[in-house]
């Protein structure tokens, strides 16, 4: 390889690296525009109705586009409380799920035995066991 070929090759490589460096922020930005959405909330059942409420919530989780995870759990210290932990591909998918006929039916069925709501936290999931990158 001649010296001029080596210089041209380095210039081409340096140009490619510079282009990649300029393009990288836009690729990162594109990924950030599709931010996962998480919600952790406590729901209180009417006294003695926690298991019934949990069953209603758990049975209505099929067929929700954009839902990556939906967990219903019993509160370890409050016999009438549940925790619902959700992960969605984005916030819009969560909002759209509330309009699904199956979800609307579950809300109507559960409403009479919901005594109230406790803590509610919105999160930005970034990954973890059982959660594929969106």
Task: Catalogue the E-assigned strands of 1-134.
Answer: 37-45, 67-74, 81-88, 114-123
Residues 6+ apart with CB under 8 A from 112: 46
> Residue 106 has what pLDDT?
93
Any bridge partners for residue 84, and if so which? 41, 72
> Residue 39 has what pLDDT?
97
> Residue 2 has what pLDDT?
54
Q: What is the pTM of this model?
A: 0.71
Residue 113, class by beta-carbon neighbours within 10 Å (0-12 exposed, 13-18 middle, 19+ buried)?
A: middle
Lowest mean per-residue pLDDT among 4-18, 32-46, 85-99, 118-132:
4-18
Band of pLDDT at residue 83, cut at 50, 70 and 90: very high
Asked if residues 89 and 66 have their Cβ atoms less than 8 Å apart, the reply is yes
- Please write the tens of the pLDDT for every residue from 10-62: 443 444 433 334 433 433 333 445 799 999 999 999 999 999 999 999 987 77
Asked if residues 130 and 60 have their Cβ atoms less than 8 Å apart, the reply is no
Residue environment code for 43-74, b if the CB has 16+ CB neighbours within 10 A, otherwise e: bbbeeebbeebbebbeebbeebebbbbbebee
- Please write the tens of the pLDDT for every residue from 48-78: 999 999 999 998 777 899 999 999 999 999 9
């Amino acid at each position: 390889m001649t010296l001029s070929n080596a210089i041209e090759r380095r210039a081409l490589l340096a140009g490619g690296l510079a282009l990649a460096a300029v393009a990288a922020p836009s690729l990162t930005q594109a990924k950030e525009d599709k931010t996962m959405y998480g919600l952790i909330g406590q729901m209180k059942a009417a006294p003695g109705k926690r298991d019934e409420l949990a069953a209603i919530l758990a049975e209505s989780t099929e067929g929700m586009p954009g839902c990556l995870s939906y967990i219903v759990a019993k509160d370890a210290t409050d016999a009438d409380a549940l925790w619902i932990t959700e992960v969605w591909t984005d916030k819009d998918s969560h909002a759209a799920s509330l309009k699904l006929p199956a979800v609307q039916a579950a809300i109507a069925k559960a409403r009479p035995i919901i005594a109230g709501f406790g803590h509610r936290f919105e999160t930005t999931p970034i990954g973890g066991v059982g959660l594929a990158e969106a």
